[in-house]
Amino acid sequence: MKFVHKLILILVILLNFSLPARSNDFDECKTFFNQYVQKSNNYSPSFPDLFASNALIKRNKISPNGEVKQTVYTKTAYVKKLKIYVPLAKLVGYKNSFSNISYTKEGNGFRIKGYRFPSTSKNQSYNVSWLVMKDKNGDWKILEDYTETRNKLSF
In this prediction, residue 18 carries a pLDDT of: 45
Show Cβ contacts of residue 24 under 8 Å, excluding neighbours closer than 6 positions: none
Say if 79 falls within a structural domain. Answer: yes
In this prediction, residue 17 carries a pLDDT of: 47
Q: Using alpha carbons, list the distances in angstroms from residue 143 to 4, 58, 70, 75, 130.
A: 44, 11, 17, 10, 7
Say if 154 falls within a structural domain. Answer: no
Contact 113/102 with Cβ under 8 angstroms?
yes
Q: What is the pTM of this model?
A: 0.81
| Domain containing residue 91: CATH number | 3.10.450.50
Q: Using alpha carbons, list the distances in angstroms from residue 3 to 9, 10, 13, 15, 52.
A: 10, 10, 15, 18, 47
Beta strands across the sheet bearing 109-118:
68-74, 51-62, 140-149, 126-134, 109-118, 96-106
Domain count, the chain: 1
Confidence of residue 2 (pLDDT cuts 50, 70, 90): low
In this prediction, residue 134 carries a pLDDT of: 97
Question: Which domain range does residue 110 map to?
Answer: 2-149
In this prediction, residue 20 carries a pLDDT of: 43
Say if 38 falls within a structural domain. Answer: yes
Say if 39 falls within a structural domain. Answer: yes
pLDDT (average), residues 20-45: 89
Over residues 64-115, the pLDDT tens digits come to: 888 999 999 999 999 999 999 999 999 999 999 999 999 999 999 999 999 9
Say if 155 falls within a structural domain. Answer: no
Say if 27 falls within a structural domain. Answer: yes
Over residues 38-61, the pLDDT tens digits come to: 999 999 999 999 999 999 999 999
